[in-house]
Amino acid sequence: MAIIYLVRHAESAHNVSKDVNHRDPPLTAAGQTQASSLASTFPNPESVTTIVSSPLRRTLQTTLAAFGRLIETGTARLVLDPDLQERSDLPCDTGSAVETLRAEFPTLDFSAVGGDEWFAKTGKYTADDEAVAARAAAVREKLFGIVNERDGNVVVVTHGVFMKFLAEDDDIDLPKAGWRAYTAVKGNVGGVKLVAFESD
């Protein structure tokens, strides 16, 4: 049974400054250390064959610091999914232009992110509960497809508030660079649920 690990990004500049007007802030030095530490403390990294990340700067930096070796060696593929972006439409939760990200992260493939409408916070990216819940449901469906099409476990690098919608758990509050394990199951009335994974 494949495991889906939900990972919260490491500490970013706005987490410390509380400046929500800082657009798409990067990790702090402490955040880089947190993410790098995750590379050595994450359980069974060799079992991970897919990493799915939000395209915001702090999640990309967390992904590369924690799981870059898996990506570089081809052990795991990286998928950038704008549906994983944070819930709010504050500047700190608004992404950067694709060309800006390509310049900063030249080894990454941004083709799945699309154009710059991905951070416009309109349409399916609107910052209201109904739209965010629908986006989270779409991500769960995609994750179910991944675990049924590919061998291995999946890492999802995302944001603290969006994770509540993704896990359908208002109480989840992982520490920066923290993670929790789940499995994906089809519900009796349709839709995919993430169920907390309990190891033997």
Structural domains counted in the chain? 1
Indicate whether 106 belongs to any domain.
yes
pLDDT of residue 200: 53
Average pLDDT over residues 57-73: 97
pLDDT band at 187 (very low <50, low <70, confident <90, very high): confident
Overall pTM surpassing 0.75 (yes/no): yes
Question: Is residue 25 within 8 Å of residue 92, measured between CB atoms?
Answer: yes
In this prediction, residues 28-43 reach a mean pLDDT of 96
Residue 1 belongs to a domain = no
Q: Is residue 94 part of a domain?
A: yes
Q: What is the mean pLDDT of residues 2-11?
A: 98
- Asked whether residue 4 is assigned to any structural domain, the reply reads no
Instruction: Determine which helix (DSSP H) or strand (DSSP E) holds 101, and give its type and residue range.
Output: helix 98-104
- Answer yes or no: is pLDDT of 150 > 90: no
Phi-psi category of 131—alpha, beta or left, where left has phi over 0 and alpha has psi -120 to 50?
Answer: alpha
**Confidence grade of residue 190 (pLDDT, cut at 50, 70, 90):** confident
Residue 49 φ/ψ, nearest 5 degrees: -115, -10
Helix (H, G, I), strand (E, B) or coil at 135: helix
Compute the distance between CA of residue 199 and CA of residue 196 in angstroms, rounded to an integer: 10
At 1 the pLDDT is: 82
- Within a domain: 159: yes
Q: Strand ranges (DSSP E) for 18-161?
A: 48-53, 77-80, 153-158
Displacement of CA 195 from its chain's centroid (Å):
17
CA distance 85 to 191: 21
- How far apart CA 168 and CA 136 sit, in angstroms, is 9
Taking 60 as the threshold, does the pLDDT of residue 172 lie above it?
A: yes
Over residues 178-190, mean pLDDT:
89
Q: For residue 56, what are the domain limits?
A: 10-196
Query: What pLDDT band is residue 111 in, cutting at 50, 70 and 90?
Result: very high
